[in-house]
Amino acid sequence: MTSLSAIGGNAHYGPTAFTTTHWSVVLEAQGESPAAQEALGKLCRMYWRPIYSFVRRQGIGPADAEDLTQGFFASLLEHRNLDAVRREQGRLRSYLLGALKYFLGEERRRAMAIKRGKGQRLIPLEELCADERFAIEPADPVTADLIYERRWASTVLERVLNLLKDEYQIAGNVVLFDSLKQLLPGEPDAPPQKDVATQLGMTENAVRQAFYRFRQRYQSLLREEIAHTVATPGDIEDELRHLIAVIRA
């Protein structure tokens, strides 16, 4: 996971325009809006890893956990409860965890195998790494909440880093990206900046400036990514602070 210093060490960022986001589309939509369904679908795909990890922590085996995860998202896409969303102050992270706990409770009460979604794989569970799919984890609701939060944080940071890499790749600077990424605190075997400068044929000062721009853009993309999962501009700072608290924990 990216370290605190890589994202600024605190939750304060410069002001940016709060444009229409995926989550605000979901919140503002009335009825079965295609735009709202599409936006919610995009958000669901971002959260499949935290959801699956939470389900597995309940002591549920990989195959059943996959079915439950698919079933949860299928149910969510079919029956959106906006009253529940507003009770969670419009934060997608909190809403999904609450909705998942309710869904699992209902499924336990029904005590039946879950085969929802009409065979469709809504979320790319095949991308889970082996230890996430097959590790046997004992049931522990408290720990499950923490795992959900950590998976959420790591998923957000990983997505932001991939977006940044795409930008460098489009600009033809993927080698520069790979080199600057090594300088992030917490990266294994991080080389001194002078070694990176030598590798790139740049001066140390030029590498220092490039890394500064790298971190600034990373922070900007992180803020934009968080903005997609909250309802109002005022929620962004709170979510950023929460993300940093999760990383620190």
Q: How confident is the model at residue 194 (pLDDT cuts 50, 70, 90)?
A: very high
Res 130 pLDDT > 80: no
**Residue 217 is part of which domain span?**
4-248
Question: Could you give the number of structural domains in the chain?
Answer: 1
* pTM of the complete model: 0.69
Instruction: Report residue 51 as tokens.
Output: 């959801």
Handedness of CA 121, 122, 124, 128 (dihedral sign): negative
- Give the closest residue to 147 by CA, choosing from 241, 243, 53: 53
pLDDT for position 12: 45
Pairwise pLDDT comparison (249 vs 32), residue with the higher score: 249
Q: Region 131-139: what's the mean pLDDT?
A: 50
Q: How confident is the model at residue 93 (pLDDT cuts 50, 70, 90)?
A: confident
Give the whole-number percent of the chain exceeding pLDDT 90.
Answer: 27
What does the mean pLDDT of the chain come to? 76
- Give the closest residue to 18 by CA, choosing from 222, 224, 220, 239: 224
User: Of the ranges 98-102, 105-109, 140-144, 209-213, which is most confident?
Assistant: 209-213
Res 233 pLDDT > 80: no
- Does residue 107 contact residue 71 with C-beta atoms inside 8 Å? yes
Secondary structure (3-state) at 29 = coil
